[in-house]
Structure 1
Amino acid sequence: MCVSGNRASRLMQLCAVLALSAALAGCVSNSQQVRPKGPDPYFVAMYGAKSEEKFPLPATDISKVEPRFLRQQVPYVTHEPPGTVVIDTENRFLYLVQGGGMALRYGIGVGKAGLEFEGEARVGRKAEWPRWTPTSDMVAREPERYGPLAGGMDPGLRNPLGPRALYLYQGNRDTLFRIHGTTEAWSIGKAVSSGCIRLFNPDIIDLYSRVPEGSRVVVLQAEPPMSQPMDAPMSTAADGSGSLSF
């Protein structure tokens, strides 16, 4: 009778353990089912509204953006020194080189085929909430679209340069290419602009705060950086305010 009683006791204990395991499994399953879908809250906060700006910026919609295009620190092996901006147009990334084999990586939108910039430049000028003026070539190419804007567009939420712009120079010549913001979040990761490098508005604000004038910029297409004369001939806008972007 004692042996039988011990067996019964052990059987009851085993049943209790199995019941508890099933209950815990149910809790885990339920928690997985109710977990909200969508971007990581960390990135949602990173790309939230910026009410402190001169023109308050609404939150950036990243719900349909591939996570790899969101700002993040990543391992990055390069011979470029810290502080260099490396733009990988093929993979749609901009890297701000840091020490220790790391870099800050930003997703970008790039120029359409035939209009891309390639080579070395420097940040010759920086501007917060810049004014934008289409180039004469842009007006000639698409007069109906750019003609009414030939006199320029004031800063604001509709301005295609966004809240910040970094102007790329070679020597003392303005290349007309910019690194700037965009209100078209869907365009990050794509080749849609007229040649410039566009970032999410929160990203260009972040990059702007980290990159001083004079910083070296290397723009790659599908090959390693090239040593290119910094004073190579480039066409410039008459008023120096033009930009190959929109």
Structure 2
Amino acid sequence: MTRFTRARSAVVTAAAGILVAGMAMTGAASANPFAFFAPVMAPTYEAVAPTDTIVPRNEPAEPSSRFRRQTVDYKTSEPAGTIVIDTPNTYLYLVLGNGRAMRYGIGVGRDGFRWSGTQSVTRKAEWPDWTPPTEMVRRQPYLPRFVAGGPNNPLGARALYLGDTIYRIHGTNAPETIGERVSSGCIRMVNADVIDLYSRVTVGTRVVVLPSRNRQVETPRAPQI
């Protein structure tokens, strides 16, 4: 065999070996398309929770545990069934009698908007509509003139209207404000609490709002319609 013949034979043999190896890899790839490229091309997937279990990133903060609804010892001369609003400590008490009361955490009026006195529940409403009072619109002209009742309504799930004033005890879609002094004079509660209170009281219920340690303002009357 000449030197040229031997060289050609070696080239043919090498080519055959490469072809066989390539066929073997092709067969493996048909069983697992990522087998050959696994070190760099195998896809990865993140586990994603079903959409109905995802917690929104901007979930409102819940009130402090000290504002959790609970039955407590409470000494008062007010008869059972009376609502007492402890403005300085941001608590609402529903007097049960025998030295006991149901206590709820509340949000109250900001500086210049807190008030005190005695009123009564004159109306109750579930998922109430909200029409901002004229005084509020004058101070905050960007407010909507009407918001239909529902989860996005600032009055929340329930409202107890107080006398002929513009004030209410109502729910809120901002539970993080419980314990704060942020409203324009209304008393706000988390929705679960105002629903509970709503179920326990009737129209005519006496409401006593204790004075704040800060400056008071006269209770405004609702505009005549």
TM-score (norm 1): 0.63
Give the alignment of 1:75-90 within 5 angstroms: 75-90=73-88
RMSD: 1.9
Corresponding letter in the other structure for 1:160: P
**Does 1:165 find its partner at 2:159?**
yes
Matches of 1:62 and 1:138, distance apart in 2: 25
Aligned to 1:203: 193
Give the alignment of 1:98-109 within 5 angstroms: 98-109=96-107
Aligned to 2:141: 143
Matches of 1:166 and 1:91, distance apart in 2: 21
Give the alignment of 1:184-223 within 5 angstroms: 184-222=174-212
Cα distance change of structure 1 residues 163 and 233 upon mapping to structure 2, 3 Å threshold: closer
Aligned to 2:12: none
Aligned to 1:129: 127
Matches of 2:130 and 2:84, distance apart in 1: 24
Identity %: 53
Which of these two proteins has the greater Rg computed from alpha carbons?
A: 2
SS in 1 for 2:148: coil
Aligned to 1:176: 166
For these two proteins, the number of residue pairs brought into alignment is: 163
Q: Alpha-carbon deviations, 1:116-161, whole Å to 9, x = none?
A: 12100000000111111011111111112x1xx22x1111111111
Matches of 1:63 and 1:182, distance apart in 2: 13
Matches of 1:222 and 1:162, distance apart in 2: 25
Aligned to 2:8: none
TM-score (norm 2): 0.69
Q: CA deviation at 1:68?
A: 1.4
Matches of 2:212 and 2:108, distance apart in 1: 13
Aligned to 2:71: 73
The unaligned stretches of length 5 or more in structure 2 are: 1-58
SS in 2 for 1:133: coil
